[in-house]
Amino acid sequence: MRTQSLFSKIKFENDGKHLYFIKREDLQVLEGDTPLIIHGPRGTGKTTLLNSLNWKEHESNSNLKNALQKIGSRRDYIGVYLKVPELKVGGLKKWECGEEEIYNQIFSYYIELVWLEELTIAIAEMAVEGRLAFTPSEEKNFIDRVVNGRVNLFSETVKISTLYDFSDELRKIRQNIENASLFSEDIGLVYEPLSNFGQIGFLGK
């Protein structure tokens, strides 16, 4: 794949393999623990900055790896990059709901399901490649801790014992929300099992 300059006329997402130039002070802000909002007109580098944290870009782009190493990247995180316009949130917005608070909670659960699915796949693939190390029993214990007590959320007929199993279940739950909004199902039927979701994203800490 041909390496492209950041200043090409093609959008970053549709371009080839990228060269990166990241200032140390900018990286320290990006990798900090404080939530950030990055804004700016089209073409100012928002996607480039966010993709510099993306685990997929870390794995595939040797130029980025070298750049991060030279300026002292923390590299103690797994960055997940999502494009909300590519998610099926349009259907959710059109979902008729009498209770706005319940709708807002379902919407937030949906976003959490999306990034958890991506993060789970990232961890599983990095483990396969030998970049993360944990035993099968540790993986199973973690899955049990997450799934246990959430019988209404996860299918009882499917055995969930690996991270790939877990990502499949997260995808099914997400698709159930999408289908429910598409066919205008009773939002209460969707919310009841999701209310058992809790802050599942923090259980791995």
Mean pLDDT, residues 35-55 taken together: 86
pLDDT band for 1, please (50, 70, 90 cuts).
very low
Mean pLDDT, residues 144-152 taken together: 74
Each residue's pLDDT tens digit, 121-131: 999 999 988 88
Distance CA 37, CA 51 (A): 15
Q: With a cut of 80, say whether residue 135 has pLDDT above it.
A: yes
Query: Closest Cα to residue 124, out of 69, 162, 172?
Result: 162
**pLDDT: which is higher, 37 or 197:** 37
